[in-house]
Amino acid sequence: GMEYPGAVLITDRLYNAGNENSLEYVVVHEVAHQWWYGMIGNDEIDDPWLDEAPTEYSTLLYYRDRYGDARFDREYQTNVGLPLSVLTRSGTPMKVGDPISAYSDGLWYNIVVYKRGAQMFYDLHQELGDAAFFGAMQRYFKAMFLLNAKKGDLYEALSKETGCDWSGHLERYLNGG
């Protein structure tokens, strides 16, 4: 699939029998980009995590809202929650915050930016709880609507919503910790 502001393209291969789960996941992911990239812009070359990570996590939240916690947990484990040993490439740090040019192949880009980035949002959500997490994301959305966000804008929304500085929490993921 591929997103553009106001448009989503889905390959016809996903419409074949047996691809129902992949089709739903890809459609939800690309539609979520209408928020994270479409309405909250970012520099997708230098900061691709700012749209891919919240989009991937929003995809998981769709499953929780639509099907319940058990399905959310299954989708998380299947699509995101891989153990770090699986996500580690010898000698290559998993820096979610790297620019797209840091990735020599699409698979490693997907593992780090999409998967590890979604883990970052999952962990943040677990730490904050629903009210503070969704409050911060709504604050971020309202502050950056139709603008290009930077990581500091997300940090600011989290800080204003919770009264705490969450930049260190996120920086560990962004810098490979």
Q: What pairing do the DSSP bridges indicate for beta strands 40-42 and 147-149?
A: parallel
State pLDDT tens for residues 63-95: 999 999 999 999 999 888 766 555 555 566 789
Sites in the chain below the pLDDT cut of 70: 4, 82-92
pLDDT at residue 54, as a whole number: 97
Q: Which residue in 53, 5, 65, 6 sits closest to 29, CA to CA?
A: 53
pLDDT at residue 84, as a whole number: 56
pTM of the model: 0.91
